Chain A
Amino acid sequence: MRKVERKKADAYFKYRTMMITIYLAIGFLVSYVVVFFAQELSSFTVMGIPFSYYMGAQGAVLTFIILLFINAIVSDKIDKKFGFNPEYVDTNDD
């Protein structure tokens, strides 16, 4: 075991938490906020479907999927940037 500076570990946690907050905010925007303004957002269409309906049926789900993949890719990059191996498996763990 090698000691890591506390500051570095805290910076890692702060960075990860910030990214997750951004992802959740985007997820909130495309679902809850769009639903909240559903009547107002029905006036224009995407592929022939009113925007609020399109977001509920396809847009929000597609955004969720993309966010999860971005998170998976970016998290691996952050781990490596801080010098951590994301594939490390603790052999003491059952």
Chain B
Amino acid sequence: MTLDTQFLVSLALIGATFALYIGIAIFNTAKQTSDFYVASRGVPPVFNGMAIGADWMSAASFIGLAGTVMVLGYDGLAYIMGWTGGYLLLTFLLAPQLRKYGRYTVPEFIGDRYRSNTARLIAAVATIIISFTYSVGQLSGSGVVIGRLLEVDTAIGTLIGVVLIAFYSAMGGMKGITWTQVAQYLVLIIAYLIPVIFMSLQLTQNPAPWISYGEIIGEMRELDRELGISEYVVPFTEATKWQFLALMFTLMAGTAGLPHVIVRFYTVATMKAARWSGAWALLFIGLLYLSAPVYAAFSRFILMTQVANTQLDNLPAWTEPWINTGQLSVADTNGDGMLQWQELTISNDIVVMATPEIANLGVFVIGLMAAGAMAAALSTAGGLMIAISAALSHDIYYRSINPKASESKRLYVGRLSIVLATVAAGLLALNPPGAITQIVAWAFALASGSFFPALLLGVWWKRANGPGVIAGMVTGLTVTLSYIFAAKYLGFTILGIIDTGAGVFGAASAIIANIVVSLNTAPPSQETLDEVTDLRYPEQIKYKDGEVWLKE
């Protein structure tokens, strides 16, 4: 294998997938605003499930999740359960009802349900801030992948991603994005599963890694015991039990509150389709999330048995590029010429990206892996861009600034705001400030302190009113940000809960504030109360003035 062959194969695979995404967008050009924002509500649930999967699984999930689980051991599993459990809250408590309410965006639901323009604007601004910082992370991630695999500068990689997303999301809007995300899901899941299946065959002679990796875990426990280090599977070695629980809650509530995910449930026509979309989505997401701990176990086992305890000048050939880029660091601290396990420092990103080389799967799989990582980054960035554009062009421009805007004017503003947002995020991604990485890590805490309580009470408690939700969102965001600051910089923690678990306090305080203020101000109008009661029943039922009607 020469470098040139690898370069050509990676380039061809990435080029082919890019051409596919652009082709899909051209074929699905948005012609009206309902195409642009909600794909005309015509997406079948299975495909919506795939699109939700791609929308949801970011570059960080694809590249970094398995590594996080490997480095943190049991404690990393909070991410697995938290990010999947969010779909329970979303599908059981929010998605079908939001679907029946039938708007274009999450801020629009909050504004109309609570009859408050202020609430809509707060939600729109929160959507823009959360989605924008999140997309900067995706774009810089795609820059790193393109840069490394095509051996070009990271900046050029980022720019390629920016041009591509700006082009296809502005053209197709939600309609185009939906079908590109379906294609991107298929690319990323195939790329993720092939290496782990081959690695399973090599290590355990069993093609089903999810079943076979138990024996590898067993062997690793022996190795850990011989080394006298804390065992891989032992809980709460990195943080307290309460931090684990708080982080898991924050990730769940944050997932259920992220606007770019919720809006995908607006692309179907019925509550039934929303429930099935949620089920399919978690199945498709589960294929990756169930495999991440397997990657983690296999990689750690290989590092322990094939890299550790070898002579420093006789390490396996695949380690060299990773050592050169500093992602694998080997320091012979005791100077005996041998590499001990304790002398190895491993970056999270290695686990998935190095697997094709470790398992010797050849140029095609390495190229596929690159295309998969790109698909994960682009699909999430595309969904985020739609959320930002909808907040700007629909919630702020159309609903607040120019309600008389014509259909074509609204489409134009929608497209323009996608291009501007993508370019702005791309420029920031060229040299991401440290703050961006931090805000991405806090996005879930912020969403669980703001959107989740507002949506939950909006759907399930009809007495909640405008002043209540404004107080709730402001209190939730304030408490979340204050706790993050206090935990991160002042060393103040409760029960060992650190900044990443702050959402639990944010959500609790937002719910309390919403309830207290709502009860002490005037109740919502009868019309609002009826609207919320209406959400209890299926699409076919209309509730009005205490009477229930069946539409035929």
Contact = CB atoms under 8 A, between A and B. Distances in A.
A35 to B, nearest CB: 6
A76 B547 CA distance: 23
A85 B552 CA distance: 10
B1 interface: no
Interface string A55-87: 011101110110111011001100100011111
A35 B244 CA distance: 8
Contact of A61 (B69, B80, B269, B541): B80
Interface string B210-221: 110111011000
Contact-size category for B? 35 or more
A61 B549 contact: no
B291 to A, nearest CB: 10
Contacts of B542: 1
Contacts of B538: 12, 79, 84, 86, 88
Contact of B272 (A6, A12, A52, A79): A79
A5 to B, nearest CB: 7
Contact of B550 (A23, A76, A84): A84
A87 B248 contact: no
Contacts of A1: 542, 549-552
Contacts of B211: 47
A32 B541 CA distance: 36
Interface string B245-264: 10010000000000000000
Interface string A1-33: 111111011001100100010011001000110
Contact of B279 (A46, A72, A87, A90): A72
A68 B278 contact: yes
Interface in B414-456: none
A85 B270 CA distance: 10
Contacts of B546: 6
B88 to A, nearest CB: 5
A68 B542 CA distance: 26
Interface string B510-552: 0000000000000000000000000011111111001111111
Contact of A68 (B235, B279, B290): B279
Contacts of B282: 64-65, 68
B271 A62 contact: no
B550 A2 contact: yes
Given A12-B537, A31-B85, A88-B270, A61 B290 contact: yes
B47 interface: no
A60 B210 contact: no
A48 B78 CA distance: 21
Given A61-B286, A71-B275, A48 B550 contact: no
Contacts of B283: 65, 68-69
Interface string B74-116: 1001101100110110011100000000100000000000000
A20 B92 contact: yes
Interface string A30-59: 011001101100100111111011001110
B495 interface: no
Nearest to A30: B81
B272 A76 contact: yes
A35 B245 contact: yes
B399 interface: no
Contacts of A23: 88, 92
Given A20-B93, A71-B92, A93-B102, A38 B74 contact: yes
A41 to B, nearest CB: 9
A90 B464 CA distance: 27
A13 B536 contact: yes
Nearest to A53: B233
B279 A69 contact: yes
A88 to B, nearest CB: 4
Interface of A: 1-6, 8-9, 12-13, 16, 20, 23-24, 27, 31-32, 35-36, 38-39, 42, 45-50, 52-53, 56-58, 60-62, 64-65, 67-69, 71-72, 75-76, 79, 83-90, 93-94
19 contacts: A9-B536, A13-B537, A31-B85, A47-B214, A48-B215, A49-B217, A52-B74, A57-B77, A57-B80, A57-B293, A61-B81, A61-B84, A64-B282, A68-B275, A69-B279, A72-B276, A75-B272, A84-B550, A94-B34
Q: Which 3 A-B pairs have the closest CB atoms?
A: A48-B214, A56-B77, A47-B214
Given A31-B81, A48-B215, A88-B551, 16 more contacts: A3-B550, A9-B543, A12-B538, A23-B92, A35-B78, A35-B235, A47-B211, A68-B275, A68-B283, A69-B279, A72-B272, A75-B275, A79-B272, A84-B538, A84-B541, A90-B551
